[in-house]
Structure 1
Amino acid sequence: MELISQVLALEPTSQVLGKEPIVPFAILLVVILVVPILFERLRLPGLVGLVFSGVVLGPSGWNLFQTESQTINLLADIGLVYLIFVAGLEVDIEQFQQRKNRSFGFASFSFSFPLIMGTLAGQIFGFDWVISVLIGSLFASHTLLAYPILSRLGVVKNEAVTVTIGAKIFTDIGALLILALCIASASPLGVFNLAKLLTLLGWLIIYSVVVLVGFDWVGKEFFRRSGGEEGNQFLFVLLTVFLAAVGAQLIGVEKIIGAFLAGLAVNEVLGEGPVKEKVVFVGSVLFIPIFFVHLGLLIDLPNFIHSTSNLQLTVFLVFSVIASKFIAALLAKLLYRYNWQESITMWSLSIPQVGTTLAATLVGYRAELLPVEVFNSVVVVMLVTSTLGPLITSRVAVGLASATVTEPTITNQPEPQPPDTSTAFTIVVPVYNPQTQQYLIELATLLARQANGRIIPLAIATAAANMDAPQLEVSLQRSERLLAKATAQSQALGVTAEPLLRIDDAFAQGISRASREQKASLIVMGWGKRTGLRARLFGNVIDNVLWASHCPVAVTRLVDSPKKIQRILVPVENLMAPTLQPVHFAQLLADANQAQVTVLNVCERRTSSSKIAARRSHLAAIVSKLALPNPPEIQIIAHENVAQAILQAARLYDLVVLPFTRNRTSPGGLAISDVTTQLARQLTCSIIMLGEPQRTHAVPLPTGIPSTTSVM
């Protein structure tokens, strides 16, 4: 009996979890890891699963988490700030400058119509004017959840898409500005009159200039003086975000406005580099998902289900968002003379309401400006639009790409330039792993012989504090042995090697710097695996070389000798801006082995035979511009899954050459898996992933084909 009484006296589970912060954090990590994967298998956005998890684990479900939990609230606040910061960070300033007038035009339509209809909804359901205007502003912005789909299909440069992307900066700023004014007008500190409004706007202008100009200048100076130390640069960016958030609160506006301005301020400073990749990575895998789970905790599910007015308000808001965004896209079609496919694409891109919408909703709810029924309805709107928008985009954008393919755009492809004979074709081969060195040298010698070039085996000895340190001496001796072996291997294969030993701070910097000094045309590296927390946060050697190198980088996983390769497959997904470098690289290797190259394109299963024929002829015309002595075979496969089609085709080939691209995160913050990642994990044959540098002045392969970037 005493044991039973002790058991009955145990505290409830929720109270135990509240006293042990590490327990809810561990549960959150499990949710973040497992739930998005399960929902994506069901063809639903991962963020929908995170919100659903919050409902299940919160007061409306199992009551494991409490909304008053300091741990979860702190992490959710960081996620809130991070979400808006990433939205500002991923604004494409270059694309915005190209179409800023039309972007402003579409932004005006996309902002004003949802604002009007949302305000009307608030008035119909009995809310006062401030709440009604705030409800309208929540849906005036949009989140580019479907950007990875557009990148994969190669239609990002389409004018209608570019205009929609550029419009986001106007709608986000407008929505956040209305939020600040509504919060200030509802402040309990007194009557909000014209003087207070002008004062707030004055402080906001001064603050914006300080952040946009001052943080941009300080960031450039810090990055210039930090010497490429990614850890310090990463911490500087985080400090910038939260300083801007604190500054916004000091002048009386919400911290998310400061976070958005901070994202715009460091946008140019970071560029498309490894630090930006890591900054977005940390937020997208940890803090932003916790923010979505926290949203689910706040949903009052019983009240929402049993209230008829809640259901009516939700249905009206969903209809208002979808209809108003369609009207905006229709007006853009009429004004700018887009076709229906482009107009529907603009509509589908502007439907999702995630980043700015949810952030502003949570701020309004915490300020006790938005009632719980509006909060519940907005979350449902987010769930519906985040599912509907990408679904429509995936269907319509394919048609947009296909329509463009059938048009006579071949003349717009860049003409091949004559080869630059002033410098020899140079291949740098970093040697470190004796197990992969043999095949790397074989591959380099095959390419060098075919291109009448040279190879440079490169060994990096990492520097120590003192040049006479014992560990440096050991590293030098090991590097010399590797270079001697590489030189002997290349001589046995009939190519003279020029070994190079370099002492540098780190392997990646040493490889990229030596390659630049030697005017390398290509870097050939062995496969690297991500191991350990540091590699996941700050990248491994291959990641950093890909970001920093001035020339193409071939990352290889060779299961057999390169001399035995007879059949090479090159998947090309984007026919609007195809990557020609992998095709030429594969043909260069094939000519050395008298092998055959097949260029593969996968289209939708429902694609008609006439469109397949048009795609084949279009792809053949593009490849013919390489002026290769042995043209590759062109193959078109109709399949519903690109990765599965390539995997099935690859069974008959010895090597698959893929363009290397990074996973891009959407402004919503959740990473989208990409086809190249799946192929690299499941292919059993040899793989070469050809990573092209970020700059347009990169060193071309021997035929002088300009580097073009595509997403696989």
Structure 2
Amino acid sequence: MELISQVLVLEPTSQVLGKEPIVPFAILLVVILVIPIMFERLRLPGLVGLVFSGLVLGPSGWNLFQSDSPMINLLSEIGLIYLLFVAGLEVNLEKFRRQKSRAFGFASLTFSVPLVIGTLLGLILGYGWNTSILVGSLFASYTLLAYPIISRLGVVNNEAVTVTIGATLFTDIGAVLILAVCVAVAHAGTFSFAKLLTLLGWLTIYSVVIVTGFDWAGKEFFKRSGDDEGNKFLFVLLSVFLAAVGAQLMGVEKIVGAFLAGLAVNEAVGEGPVKEKVVFIGSVLFIPIFFVDLGLLINLPAFANNPDTLKLTLLMIVGLIATKLIAAFLTKLVYRYKWQEMLTIWSLSLPQVGTTLAGTLVGYRAGLLPLEVLHSIIVLMLVTSTLGPLMTSRIAVGLNSSPAEDPAPPVPEQNTPEADSAFTIVVPVYNPHTQQHLIEMAALLARQSQAKIIPLAIATAAAHMDAPQLEASLQRSEWLLSKATAQSRALGVAAEPVLRIDDAFAQGISRAAREQKANLIVMGWGKRTGLRARLFGNVIDGVLWASHCPVAVTRLVESPKKIQRILVPIENLTAPTLQPIQFAQMLAEANQSHITVLNVCDRRTSSSKIAWRRSHLSLLVSKLALANPPEIQIIAHENVAQAILQAARLYDLVVLPFIRNRTSPGGLAISDVTTQLARQLTCSIVMLGEPQRTQVNVITSHAVPSITSTV
């Protein structure tokens, strides 16, 4: 035993890593978890940290990993496919259709100008036509890393922004197709127009079959699979890999098939829990490993000691920024946009991440792009992914939204069916420990709006209606409802309990709320977080996706009757959501509480602009015609979440408005303010989620995936 232990002690670490594949995988997981968080706190994109991690762990650093490792190669290859698939899945077809003519016009400019300049740059540097055209195509596309920023600022519906979003469909398709043709020509060895026309013909047929066939198959499968999200998820994964295999059989790069598969299932998947899971799997595992693998390919000594590489990198950065600016300026002239809109278009089209990096890696592996071009494109990605969102956050502030897209008055509206009947509050009951506070919250709101409370219990269906499990669930649900009814009557509020048998909690809650013509759903959540909740979703996620009315997700640390000071943070003044203020006002009138509406602006905001924001917010609040107008407070701070956390120390309740938004491909550049607040606030919280149909931009960047509902 002593001899064995001595041998194990003396065995080099590198040999242990080589013999145990689980060790490098564990290191990768640590890197993916820790590094992006550290870089985002430095206000740098998380993907920059992942590439830097690959550089440190690879041959140019500690030499723990090799780029030719079978495990890393496999995971990186899946990440590459996933990256292009998500790029196709995230194309906003609705915004494209809304402004398709102008989107095509801008796409033509922002694609052709960089393509021509990039091709000329390649020819000047001595590359062949095939390589030069590929370099030009890498400049042509762009990634909407700043989407969460423009969503938070409330300018998504501005025409110039919508055009920029819609144009990604054309630029991504163009870049992917040029990549496919260049690689196929390189593999063919000899070039002829006959071969090129044959390739384009087969590529066109393949694209039509994938886009139309998978779209039809996806819609039919989703229609027949009901609410089984697991089968839908597997169908989407099967689609992307079948398309990738089909592309390889045709001699086309597999990422072309992956991108087309994303476009094909785009409408079938829609905005919902299935898409959330699909994007989540890639963004937390495979796509980050792809970026780490890119870092492994960087040869730092060769990059630093080669003046030509440094010159090439500088030329590429300057060339890209200049060509995107020219394209944005020409778009301004053609469509008569304002200077601020032109600069916003420019900043949105700068980041080169998804399609650009995928095409670069494929071109490098195919022998089309030399190592110095790979180095230059990676540096270009790091610069533009940092510069683009930073510029957008500064330029897009105050950009006007289209008048047609202004948000409607808070629910309930006077012309809706719900307004014709009594105000109704549905309270799902499941956890007896949180039920008392939930009923108290609903009772306070009900008394102020002459509403009725509907305690709702869901008994999950079994295969047979006489199954003992269903009988036990029904008995427990009846007990919870009788308890909720007694609590409501004790509080002096009418209650009409509803027991429903359904396949799942989330669908049962949203369907029952619709049937009861509910105006509000009041739910609770627990403090548990974990990977399972993020991966498979939870009841809150499902209700938020499907609900027709607002959903108040509550975490109450004490009885709602004791709430005396309420804080309502409103970040976006361009298109603010006023419903949380109304919600807080109803609760305040019941308790005679005090409300403060808080807006956080940049620390460098001048005193005159702060005064304008205060008067503007007061004007917006005055439109609600409240009996006791809330106090307006403006704080200048460099960190929104920290400012709210500091202010919340003096309050009993914080009302956070939020709505689900799409994420950028890979989800690596998103900062979720609401998640941070939910984790760190010690007082009671109500997060008021609005229906998916409401186009209102609020404080958060996307949904809160780490909350496990205990209703």
**Same fold by TM-score greater than 0.5:** yes
Distance 1:8 1:444 in 2: 64
Identify which of 567, 575, 578 aligns with 1:577.
575
- The alpha-carbon deviation at position 322 of structure 1 amounts to 1.3
Q: Secondary structure at the match of 2:584?
A: helix
- The alpha-carbon deviation at position 350 of structure 1 amounts to 1.3
Q: Does 1:235 align with 2:231?
A: no
- The alpha-carbon deviation at position 644 of structure 1 amounts to 1.7
Q: Does 1:211 align with 2:210?
A: yes
C-alpha distance after superposition, 1:384-420 (max 9, x if no partner): 111111222222222x44xx49x9x899664675375
Match of 1:293 in 2: 292
Higher mean C-alpha deviation, range 322-331 or range 416-425: 416-425
Higher mean C-alpha deviation, range 411-420 or range 375-384: 411-420
Contact 2:347–2:389 under 8 Å retained in 1 = yes
Match of 2:663 in 1: 665
C-alpha distance after superposition, 1:269-324 (max 9, x if no partner): 11110111111011000000000011111112221122121111111111111111
Contact 1:413–1:622 under 8 Å retained in 2 = no
Match of 1:112 in 2: 112
Alpha carbons of structure 1 residues 668 and 498: separation in structure 2 relative to 1, 3 Å: closer
Distance 1:185 1:547 in 2: 46
Contact 2:570–2:699 under 8 Å retained in 1 = no
Q: Secondary structure at the match of 1:186?
A: helix
Match of 2:362 in 1: 363
Higher mean C-alpha deviation, range 145-154 or range 411-420: 411-420
Identify which of 611, 620, 623 aligns with 1:622.
620
Match of 2:167 in 1: 167
Q: Secondary structure at the match of 2:155?
A: coil
Match of 1:191 in 2: 190
Describe how 1:11-160 pairs up with structure 2 within 5 A: 13-160=13-160
Amino acid at match of 2:553: V
C-alpha distance after superposition, 1:167-202 (max 9, x if no partner): 221111111111111112111x45221121111111
Q: Secondary structure at the match of 1:560?
A: coil
Amino acid at match of 2:265: V
Match of 1:313 in 2: 312
- The alpha-carbon deviation at position 607 of structure 1 amounts to 2.0
Contact 1:574–1:711 under 8 Å retained in 2 = yes
C-alpha distance after superposition, 1:660-689 (max 9, x if no partner): 334753124415121111111111211101
Distance 1:413 1:659 in 2: 14
Q: Secondary structure at the match of 1:139?
A: helix
Higher mean C-alpha deviation, range 474-483 or range 485-494: 474-483
Q: Secondary structure at the match of 1:497?
A: coil
Contact 2:45–2:669 under 8 Å retained in 1 = no
Distance 2:54 2:375 in 1: 13
Match of 1:494 in 2: 492
Q: Secondary structure at the match of 1:458?
A: strand
Q: Secondary structure at the match of 2:265?
A: helix
Alpha carbons of structure 1 residues 661 and 124: separation in structure 2 relative to 1, 3 Å: same
Alpha carbons of structure 1 residues 199 and 710: separation in structure 2 relative to 1, 3 Å: same
Match of 1:179 in 2: 179
Identify which of 591, 594, 613 aligns with 1:593.
591
Contact 2:407–2:696 under 8 Å retained in 1 = no
Alpha carbons of structure 1 residues 4 and 17: separation in structure 2 relative to 1, 3 Å: closer
Q: Secondary structure at the match of 1:628?
A: coil
Alpha carbons of structure 1 residues 6 and 368: separation in structure 2 relative to 1, 3 Å: farther
Amino acid at match of 2:608: S
Distance 1:134 1:14 in 2: 38
Q: Secondary structure at the match of 2:140?
A: coil
Alpha carbons of structure 1 residues 324 and 694: separation in structure 2 relative to 1, 3 Å: same
Contact 1:654–1:685 under 8 Å retained in 2 = yes
Q: Secondary structure at the match of 2:333?
A: helix
C-alpha distance after superposition, 1:105-141 (max 9, x if no partner): 2222211222222222212221111111111111111
Distance 2:459 2:162 in 1: 46
Match of 1:435 in 2: 433
Amino acid at match of 1:672: I
Amino acid at match of 1:157: N
Distance 1:74 1:597 in 2: 55
Amino acid at match of 1:226: S
Contact 1:663–1:673 under 8 Å retained in 2 = no
Higher mean C-alpha deviation, range 64-73 or range 654-663: 654-663
Alpha carbons of structure 1 residues 139 and 131: separation in structure 2 relative to 1, 3 Å: same
Q: Secondary structure at the match of 1:457?
A: strand
Contact 2:570–2:599 under 8 Å retained in 1 = yes
Q: How many residues align?
A: 695
Match of 2:256 in 1: 257
Distance 2:494 2:384 in 1: 61
Contact 1:333–1:343 under 8 Å retained in 2 = yes
C-alpha distance after superposition, 1:1-36 (max 9, x if no partner): x97998599775445433432222111111111111
Amino acid at match of 2:264: A
Match of 1:559 in 2: 557
Describe how 1:228-627 pairs up with structure 2 within 5 A: 228-398=227-397, 400-401=398-399, 404=400, 414=408, 417-418=413-414, 421-529=419-527, 531=529, 533-627=531-625
Match of 1:699 in 2: none
- The alpha-carbon deviation at position 630 of structure 1 amounts to 2.9
Distance 1:523 1:325 in 2: 46
- The alpha-carbon deviation at position 636 of structure 1 amounts to 2.2
Alpha carbons of structure 1 residues 323 and 80: separation in structure 2 relative to 1, 3 Å: same
Alpha carbons of structure 1 residues 711 and 250: separation in structure 2 relative to 1, 3 Å: farther
Alpha carbons of structure 1 residues 275 and 421: separation in structure 2 relative to 1, 3 Å: closer
Alpha carbons of structure 1 residues 636 and 460: separation in structure 2 relative to 1, 3 Å: same
- The alpha-carbon deviation at position 470 of structure 1 amounts to 3.0
Contact 1:664–1:671 under 8 Å retained in 2 = no
- The alpha-carbon deviation at position 148 of structure 1 amounts to 1.2
Contact 1:605–1:640 under 8 Å retained in 2 = yes
Distance 1:38 1:321 in 2: 28
Q: Secondary structure at the match of 1:97?
A: helix
C-alpha distance after superposition, 1:453-497 (max 9, x if no partner): 111111222223333333333322222222121111111111121
Alpha carbons of structure 1 residues 654 and 3: separation in structure 2 relative to 1, 3 Å: closer
Cα RMSD of the aligned pairs, angstroms, is: 2.4
Q: Does 1:710 align with 2:693?
A: no
Amino acid at match of 2:425: I
C-alpha distance after superposition, 1:510-546 (max 9, x if no partner): 2122222222111111113454543221211111111
Contact 2:321–2:350 under 8 Å retained in 1 = yes
Q: Secondary structure at the match of 1:126?
A: coil
Unpaired segments of 5 or more residues in structure 2? 701-711
Amino acid at match of 1:328: A
Unpaired segments of 5 or more residues in structure 1? 697-706
Task: State the identity as a percent.
Answer: 77
Distance 1:81 1:593 in 2: 55
Amino acid at match of 2:450: N
Amino acid at match of 2:447: R
Match of 2:703 in 1: none
Higher mean C-alpha deviation, range 663-672 or range 371-380: 663-672
Contact 2:154–2:696 under 8 Å retained in 1 = no
Distance 2:664 2:72 in 1: 24
Amino acid at match of 1:467: M
Match of 2:631 in 1: 633
Higher mean C-alpha deviation, range 7-16 or range 356-365: 7-16
Distance 1:380 1:284 in 2: 21
Amino acid at match of 1:386: S
Higher mean C-alpha deviation, range 365-374 or range 333-342: 333-342
Q: Secondary structure at the match of 2:391?
A: helix
